[in-house]
Amino acid sequence: MRALRLLAWKSEPELVEVDEPTPGPGQVVVRVGAAGACHSDLHLMHDFEAGAVPWNPPFTLGHENAGWVHALGSGVTGLEVGQPVAVYGPWGCGTCARCQLGIDTYCENPAGAPVPGGGGGLGLDGGMAEYLLVPAARHVVPLPEGLDPVQAAPLTDAGLTPYHAVRRSWGKLPPGSTALVIGVGGLGHVGVQILKATTSARVIAVDTRDEALALARECGADLALRSGEEAVAEIRAATPGGRGADVVLDFVGVDATLRMGAASARTVGDLTIVGIGGGTLPVSYFSVPYEVSIQTTYWGSRPELVEVLDLGARGLVRPKITTFGLDEAVDVYRRLQAGEVAGRAVIVP
Ligand code: NAD
Ligand code: ZN
């Protein structure tokens, strides 16, 4: 079969011929219906080098996958060939306390995982191929009625990651509150929809691109602004008494956005860094508003994936998707790098 593989750090992936996988005991092979192209893959291609993560190329890209059960290994029950499924992407050991709760992202026994701190498309072969080997059946999540693999694939990362980030801040988003979304790309545009679907917060979105601001409005943002130092005053002016945003979600994570996010936050707010832009935020007593909590988040839990798929099936969250073939995938990543993708680009092998 054909697969889009990252063969070395600091290189573009290549479309090559590989063997079709066969499932071992407890494993599942999924026929890939769709695999999303995530900006994290650009970090893998351009920014990472040996030692940055506990694994290395070569592997097939694609950590945002959905499709149909193709083959079941011995001992797998409760799934049927042909059944539409999403793949929960972070693959932990399955037995530590965190994995038992479905929080494979923070597996406490990485040595017992199929790959430490990764998954399919992140150290192991991912979904930018015709078939995907999933090492444990518990990572395969049946799709709810009304959701097809193309809609479901982006929900497994571009949906799940902002869902986790929003959900952990629900307590700070009562009526009258404001949420600020920085970066309205693959993750951010779904983040705006998730905020609108699950909270009553006023949503302000910022981006550097006009098309992204238009998409933010389409997704329900109450206000969409050009990103930059000047945006801080506009954001504050849009909140009661100029108090700032209760929750800031930074889907970029460069110096400028971290600074803008901190300057826009309300006292006792949350500043959540999701983007892997490599920026730093100097924190000292007077440099951020009082009692602002600053955190990074990584992906989300399996139970949260079930919840976000439900939002998708009910039409409350609908990623804006453009589909491409596997032979266009290298070019799709170039377009993503150039800021020419609206919403999420999805590869349909
Ligand atoms: P994307 O390329 O689809 O979207 C990024 C958006 O940010 C674009 O709309 C771009 O115009 C905008 N942007 C760039 N610079 C900006 C600035 N200075 N101010 C405001 N907006 C700006 O990327 P994506 O796939 O949505 O991923 C976003 C980030 O999140 C990436 O760094 C990715 O690696 C990271 N990510 C993190 C996790 C996690 O678990 N923490 C998961 C997936 C992706
Ligand atoms: Zn990702």
Residue ranges of the chain with per-residue pLDDT less than 50:
none
Q: Determine contact, residues 306/183, Cβ cutoff 8 Å.
A: no
Q: Determine contact, residues 148/83, Cβ cutoff 8 Å.
A: no
Q: Which of 27, 126, 139, 125 is nearest to 88 (CA)?
A: 139
Q: What's the pLDDT score for residue 199?
A: 98
Q: What's the pLDDT score for residue 4?
A: 98
Which structure tokens are listed for 320?
């804006």
Does the beta carbon of 76 sit less than 6 angstroms from any atom of ligand 1? no
Q: What's the pLDDT score for residue 315?
A: 98
Q: What's the pLDDT score for residue 143?
A: 98
Q: What's the pLDDT score for residue 216?
A: 98
Q: Which of 225, 229, 211 is nearest to 180 (CA)?
A: 225
The DSSP result for 159-178, as a single string, is IHHHHHHHHTTGGG--TT-E
The residues, ordered by sequence, that sit 6+ positions from 240 with a Cβ below 8 Å of its Cβ are: 176
Q: What's the pLDDT score for residue 313?
A: 98
Does the beta carbon of 156 sit less than 6 angstroms from any atom of ligand 1? no
Nearest atom within ligand 1 for CA of residue 276: 32
**Measured CA distances, 168 to 39, 232, 243, 301, 333 (Å):** 23, 24, 21, 12, 31
Q: What's the pLDDT score for residue 132?
A: 98
Q: What's the pLDDT score for residue 146?
A: 93
Q: Is 234 helix (H, G, I), strand (E, B) or coil?
A: helix
The residues, ordered by sequence, that sit 6+ positions from 185 with a Cβ below 8 Å of its Cβ are: 39, 207, 212, 251, 341, 343
Q: What domains sit in the chain, N to C, each tagged with a CATH number?
A: 2-158+300-347 (3.90.180.10), 169-296 (3.40.50.720)
Ligand 2 centroid vs 196 CA: distance in angstroms? 22
Q: What's the pLDDT score for residue 135?
A: 97
Alpha-carbon gap, residue 279 to 255, rounded angstroms = 4
| Residue labelled with tokens 């994936």 | 305
Alpha-carbon gap, residue 341 to 253, rounded angstroms = 19
Q: Determine contact, residues 36/322, Cβ cutoff 8 Å.
A: no
The order of strands in the sheet holding 14-17 is 14-17, 2-6, 59-60
The DSSP result for 271-324, as a single string, is EEE-----------TTTS-TT-EEEE--S--HHHHHHHHHHHHTTS----EEEE
Does the beta carbon of 264 sit less than 6 angstroms from any atom of ligand 1? no
CA dihedral of residues 234, 239, 242, 243 (deg, nearest 10): -130
For residue 118, give the amino acid letter: G
Nearest CA to ligand 1 atom 31: 275
| Residue labelled with tokens 């971290």 | 258
Q: What's the pLDDT score for residue 83?
A: 98
Does the beta carbon of 163 sit less than 6 angstroms from any atom of ligand 1? no
Ligand 2 centroid vs 80 CA: distance in angstroms? 27
Nearest atom within ligand 1 for CA of residue 297: 41
Instruction: Note the pLDDT tens digit of each residue in 182-194.
Output: 999 999 999 999 9
The residues, ordered by sequence, that sit 6+ positions from 24 with a Cβ below 8 Å of its Cβ are: 73
Q: Which of 25, 253, 31 is nearest to 129 (CA)?
A: 31
Alpha-carbon gap, residue 69 to 90, rounded angstroms = 19
